[in-house]
Structure 1
Amino acid sequence: MKKAAALILLGLMIFSFAPMAHLVKSATVPEYASITGISLGLKDKAVLGPFEVQFIDVDMYWSRLSFQVNGPDGPKLYVVGQGESFVYPAADNQYLNITLTWIRSDTKTALIEIQSPLQKLLSGQKLNVGDTINLPEGFPQISIKLTSTSDTQATFLVTLPYGETQTLVITEGSGGSVRYKLGDVYSYSNYVYIHLLNTTSDGPATVDIYVPKVASTDFKIVREGEEETAPTTTVETVLVYNDLLYVNEKLPITVDNVTYYVKLISATRGAITVEVFKGDQSLGSMILEIGDFPKDVPNAPLKLSVQSAEPDYKRAIIRVYAPIGAQVTPILRQANVIAMIDAVPKEIMLGDNLVVAINVENLGRGDAYDVSVAAPIPNDFELVSMTKTWAFETLPAFTKMPALIYVLKPTKVGEFDIGKVIVTFYDDKSLETGQERVIYSQPLTGIKVYGIPAIDVTAQAYNGTWGSYVTANVGDNVTVRFILTAADGNPDYEFVQNATLLLDLPNSVDGPTAVEVGTIKAGETKTVRVDFKVLKENLTNVKAVLVYADPLGNEHQLELGNLVTINSIPPRVIVKEVPVYPGPEELPKYINQTLANMSDPAPVAKEISAVVEKYNPTTNYWKVLGILFLILALVFGGLTYKYWDESEKLREKLERKKHRRPGGLPKKAEEEERESSEMVEL
């Protein structure tokens, strides 16, 4: 433990002598350089170069004080109260601006602040990286070196005559200042002010340099009856602690086997209150102003100052100076690390990315070290981003990591639990034991992944029978049914909603142009029917587009093209005579029937005979005559049969007329004439 304490003390001592880098963003050049906290008793005076500010008198109530300022313009007398200021020699020609900041009637002293207006010493100075500016002769030997630049910032190393260095990181358009120490107690703040006009990453930086109008660094306090500041015997001290201290915490410092404790009582924006103990004995309380110089602790070989305070967290950064060899026992604090995991939105479509955010925060007083964050990846998700673990060297108390983002892609639909974040770390107490701490976040649950099933759409029309092609007449009603089938899947997470068929109808049919279908779940088939009225003749193609919303409400559409055809054009009959010739076996019979049905078959018979004659190898006139006789017999027989058939029809007709009206009225003369003529014809 002693070895660890020694190492900590050595680290603090090295840290105290290392140059500090201050990021400054002030865009306004300060009006004054100032020396604060100057304590004067009656007849005491503060001397700054050729100027003297002396406290010469006070009223009986210690409410109004008199000061005399001596300088190149002669002595001037001022009477002021607490909080009031006066300038020397005049407001339009200021060298000094003195403020009475506090009147202490109990100690018969006054606290004053001496300010001198800043004025531009160097204008538009250009510096490349590595270049150095030295203040002109007559000023302290202060050097300003440009060490690095970027497009927005420049870094300067300022070296002061007494060996101290200060690093300023200045943003373009802003400035930074350097204080100058005036002995062991006081300092001249804003003694050098650097205003960065412009900078580039590969070019020079341009600056203006400001110094106070009264730039003397010869400063002293002359007490009544003395011509110079009385020497004081001081114990050489070093910085042994420069870190946080929380309210009610007691920091142990051991000097020559005696343990002192520094306890933080309260913290405000401008000052803190501490109580110092020697063992169990209280040595009293002290008020330390933010940024003030180290103050001696009464009856203890310690000096204290405060760098900053954070009242919201009830803490402050305390600097403790003690003799060489002093040991500080670190305060072991426990970190309180919490992790949170979330995803927005928690409902996504299959194929989309799920963006998961992890937040890690330390709510405890102790820092966390070697912090490792592991993100959960469930089985049904793929990691899209490159990172699923993060590591941090330190997570200070009351700080929060930037959000850690990673991306997952789901591989199936359903409701899923992503899981818990795992955080491992050490803190002050676990470092002592060597036992790593592990904490878990609340699980991320209820992530829903939806999908869209494939939709197949067919249609059939009915006009007597069902089919994709039907015929109809103008004025007919034709029923069309649309069959929508969703592919198999999980019906709870794969479906479409607000499905509607938009029909593209020509003016030859009348019917609805939008048909609501509603929700179609995976594995489900829905049928909707629509009636169309045929208005005119046309070959009508019914086209459709299916519009629908996915489970998250996003609009989609599916082009279906032509689904059914309705033909309302009537058929046209085209008569065309096509000659049909009998075969060789049928030819004789055909000739016989043809000649028999002719009124005068003789010319045709002669032509047939002439044709037949060409193909007879030997002319047999008897045979020819026999054939002709046979043909003529057939012809005359056919004619005889025809005349007989006609006579029979006429006889039957006459018989019907003869027996039509038995016992009726006498026939008219024209009827008798008609019958007589028919008989004559017969």
Structure 2
Amino acid sequence: MKKLAALILVGLFLFVAPNVPAVSAEEVLYAKISSVNLGLGDKAVLGPYTFTFADVSPDFTTARISVSAGRESSPLILEEGKTVYYPSEQNPTFALSVVIWNIKNKPVVYLDIMSPLKLIDTVTLQEGKYYTLPSNFPRIKVKLTRSTNDYATFDVYFPYSSIPTTVRVSKGSGKGVNYKLSSEYYYQNYLYIKVTDSDSSSATFEVWLPKVASTDFKIIKSSQSGGSSGATAQNETLLVYNGLMYAGERLPLKVDDTTYYVKLISVVSTKASVEVYKGSAKVGTYFVNVGEVKPIPDTPLKVSIQKTEPQYSRATMLVYAPDGTQVTPILRPADIVAEIDAMPKEIMLGDSLVVVVSVENQGKGDAYDVAVAAPVPDNFELVSLTKSWTFKTFPAFTKMPALIYVLKPTKVGEFDIGKVTVTFYDDKSLETGQKKTVYSKSLTGIKVYNIPSIKVAAQAYNGTVWGEYVTAKAGEAVSVKFTLRASEGNPDYEFVRNATLILDMPDSISGEAVVPVGTVKAGETKTLQVKLNVLKESLSNVRATLVYLDPLGGKHRIELGNLVTINSIPPRVITKEVKVWPAPEELPTYVNKTLSELDDPTPLAEELANITAGYLPPESNPWKPLAIVFLLAAAVLGGVAYKYWDEAEKLREKLEKKKQRRPGGLPKKDEEEEKEEEQL
């Protein structure tokens, strides 16, 4: 595997004040007032609109809610689990849904009032500048605190608080911020900011508000529900706690000189069981439904369950108490668990090792200023951009997205990558100021392999000599020896498997075409020999290809080309006449001999004289050329005279021999001698 795949996922968590949380753009369709508690005849008033709980069905599954604006009133029938739109689904001003409870034969509804968002303005701000909503809306100011090419960060100032709510919005998406209506109710996602463009100094964003943007909200109790008709509910208590509670935990609240304890007993998906104590005396056990605000009898407390998480045995609880109540926070330890792993654990030298770090908070308490440091051991180099991550907050029972970094080995062998180190604070360590440190188990057993370079040589043997080129006759056998040499290295981690030589032979040669080699380790030499048969006369080249598997099973192929040549063509004798010229110093003798052997040497002698004349220095004596011709002629005549003299001598010697008589022989007749003379 060759990848470089360098992939890093960093989880980024953004948390804001608990009483005004931000929500993602994908969830925002409506602004919402959740779980408005109405008894029969009670009214919820939002700006010019009044919502009256008018009636309920005998089986407590359907409620009639009357919606009025001025003199007009419209009755709506709401079933549990269904949403009804007012005045129409095509053009809604509100979307309503209810949960109906029968408490001691008295009907109670928890009404969700939702108003669709609409675009109010499109704004471009420079960093550090403010935007204020138009005058017909609440005096909300938005400050651009930071802008990048990817996101923008805003501080939102509401008229009821000097502390801003910070929200970060990615470019192309949006987030909503809640507006506090009272101590009990919020207009959720009231202000929705969608960033359409941003750069390093400015951002352009859209401002959305609910169609009914009034923040004038109140509950009017009727005589049927035990309140005074037309009177505004008195906010006798304030929200003093908004957070998680786990089963078995007790929250201390000191009201004047009395200490109360709220203890979470158990949690299911729709409700929670709560015990309340006054000092050491138990006041009672109460079942609080999700969204319900329950007054605790004989105490100044109210308890509300906003969300339950049975899988963690916890609930998000709101506690209301008189102003000045002292709340002792619950200190929970974080339990950070880190793990490190690699994919895969066996790689080839030059490949990338993808290391995955996972960090999880398995404790009940949040962790803060979390720093994660991953190891980079010797014989590895860091390929990715980072090997450490930081997180400002790490909530309980949260698992970070996979933290990934990439290493590349520089040496073969088996290695230990090491441990992940995580440092952090939790609720308890913040009191002491001492950071906590935890380590993962060490990542071990990472194996790095390599392929040695392999050189292949071949020699052929024809029964007489070894060589890359040999001769043989058709019908004979030739032995071919292959030598494979692997380069030096670590034989345990540098080798090839299932090596095979595949021979490519012409039709003039036959023999084993596939030669198994097996495993070849670094520094090893292997010799193999095969027998090839010469089938016919030809000049035959034997080529080869080496195929093998690397240590991890990857296939490889090396074309070796022509290794040996076998010549089975017999030699042929070719006779060719080659003209040989005499050397310069031999020319005079050669010319003289040639002229003497000619019957008429004069033409050649004259031609030679003409040739040599051009190479002789010029002479002023006009007789000199004639003298040269005379000398040449004399030489020629001398040669002719010598020839005739030589022939005459030979004839004379022959005649004398004829006249001599052989000893003991008979004399020839006179007629025979005369005949011989005539022949001569």
TM-score between the two structures when normalised by the length of structure 1: 0.66
Query: 1:460 Cα shift?
Result: 1.4
1:355-404 CA-to-partner distances (Å, cap 9, x unmatched) read 32222222222334554545445555455556555555544322223333
The answer to whether the 8 Å contact 1:197/1:208 transfers is no
Q: 1:267–1:314: 8 Å Cα contact kept in structure 2?
A: yes
Alignment of 1:379-390 (within 5 A): 379-385=378-384, 387-388=386-387, 390=389
Give the partner amino acid of 2:100.
W
Aligned to 2:351: 352
Residue 568 of structure 2: aligned partner? 568
C-alpha distance 578-152 of structure 1, shift in aligned 2 (>3 A):
closer
How many residues in Structure 1 have an aligned counterpart in Structure 2?
564
Q: Are 1:22 and 1:169, in contact at CA under 8 Å, matched by a contact in 2?
A: no
The residue that corresponds to 2:500 in the other structure is 500
What's 1:234 paired with?
236
Q: Give the match for residue 327 of structure 2.
A: 328
The aligned residue for residue 549 of structure 2 is: 549
Q: Residue in 1 aligned with 2:123?
A: 127
Deviation at 1:95, TM superposition (A): 8.0
One-letter identity of the residue aligned with 2:518: G
How far off is 1:132 after superposition? 4.1
- Residues 540-587 of structure 1: CA deviation (Å, up to 9, x unaligned): 333323222211122223343332222223233356799999xxxxxx
- Partners of 1:481 and 1:496 lie apart in 2 by 21
How far is 1:247 from its partner? 0.9
Give the residue type in structure 2 aligned to 1:328.
V
Shift of 1:107: 6.9
Shift in alpha-carbon separation, 1:315–1:534, aligned structure 2, 3 A: same
- Distance in 2, matches of 1:402 and 1:75, equals 52
How far does residue 485 in structure 1 lie from its aligned partner after superposition?
A: 2.6
Shift of 1:152: 7.9
The residue number in structure 1 matching 2:452 is 453
Classify the secondary structure of the residue corresponding to 1:212: coil
Distance 1:325 1:194 in 2: 33
Please show how residues 240-251 of structure 1 align to structure 2 within 5 Å: 241-251=241-251
Over the aligned positions, Cα root-mean-square deviation in angstroms equals: 5.0
**Equivalent residue of 1:128, what SS?**
strand
Provide the C-alpha distance between the structure 1 equivalents of 2:278 and 2:271, rounded to a whole number of angstroms.
23
| Contact 2:56/2:63, CA 8 A, preserved across alignment | yes
> Cα distance, 1:229 vs. partner?
0.9
In the TM superposition, residue 248 of structure 1 has moved relative to its aligned partner by 0.6
Instruction: Quote the offset at 1:440 in angstroms.
Output: 3.8
Kindly report which structure 2 residues correspond to 1:192-591, keeping only aligned pairs within 5 A, or say none. Answer: 192=190, 194=192, 196=194, 198-199=196-197, 201=199, 204-206=204-206, 209-212=209-212, 217=216, 219-221=218-220, 223-224=222-223, 228-229=230-231, 232=234, 234=236, 237=238, 239=240, 241-288=241-288, 290=290, 296-322=295-321, 326-369=325-368, 371-385=370-384, 387-388=386-387, 390-430=389-429, 437-465=436-464, 466-574=466-574
- Aligned partners of 2:476 and 2:534 also within 8 Å: yes
Cα 1:415–1:91, aligned 2, differ >3 Å: closer, same or farther?
A: closer
The 3 A distance-change label for structure 1 pair 255 and 461 is same
2:398 and 2:482 map into 1 onto residues whose CA distance is 63
How much does 1:49 deviate? 6.4
Alpha-carbon separation, structure 1, partners of 2:87 and 2:574: 128
Task: Kindly state the Cα deviation for residue 301 of structure 1 after the two structures are TM-superposed.
Answer: 4.2
Moved more, 476-485 or 440-449: 440-449
1:311 and 1:519, CA in 2 relative to 1: closer, same or farther beyond 3 A? same
Q: Is the CA contact (8 Å cut-off) linking 2:305 and 2:317 kept in structure 1?
A: yes
Contact 2:16 2:165 in 1 (8 A): no
1:358 partner letter: V
Superposed, 1:73-152 pairs within 5 Å as 101-102=99-100, 104=102, 106=104, 108=106, 110-111=108-109, 113=111, 115=113, 118=116, 125-129=121-125, 132=131, 134=133, 137=136, 141-143=138-140, 145=142, 147=144
| Equivalent position SS for 2:444 | coil
1:406-446, CA deviations, whole angstroms, 9 ceiling, x for partnerless residues? 44444443334434444454544455566665544333333
Amino acid at match of 1:563: L
Q: Per the alignment, do residues 332 and 374 of structure 1 end up closer, same or farther by CA in structure 2, a change over 3 Å counting?
A: same
Please, which moves more after superposition, 383-392 or 469-478? 383-392
1:51 and 1:403, CA in 2 relative to 1: closer, same or farther beyond 3 A?
closer
Q: Is the 8 A contact 1:244 1:318 kept in 2?
A: yes
> Any idea what the Cα deviations from partners look like across 1:248-278, whole Å, max 9, x if unmatched?
1112233444332221123344543322212
User: Residues 88 and 517 of structure 1: is their aligned pair in 2 closer, same or farther, counting only changes over 3 Å?
Assistant: closer
Q: Which stretch has the larger CA shift, 295-304 or 243-252?
A: 295-304
Aligned-pair identity in percent equals: 45
For structure 1, which segment, 107-116 or 81-90, has the greater mean C-alpha deviation from structure 2 after superposition? 81-90
Structure 1 unmatched ranges of 5 or more: 1-14, 582-613, 615-624, 637-682
In the TM superposition, residue 324 of structure 1 has moved relative to its aligned partner by 5.7
Cα contact 1:100–1:110 (8 A) shared by 2:
no
Q: Which runs of 5+ in 2 are unaligned?
A: 1-14, 583-634, 636-645, 658-680
**1:330 partner SS:** coil
1:328 Cα offset (Å): 3.5
Tell me: CA distance 1:343–1:158, structure 2 relative to 1, closer, same or farther (3 Å): closer
Superposition TM-score, scaled by structure 2 size? 0.66
**Of 374-383 and 488-497, the range deviating more from structure 2:** 374-383
Q: Answer yes or no: is the 8 Å Cα contact 1:290–1:306 preserved in 2.
A: yes
Greater shift, 275-284 or 444-453, is seen at 444-453
Letter in 1 for 2:569: I
SS of match in other structure, 1:496: strand
Question: 496-505 or 431-440: which moved more?
Answer: 431-440
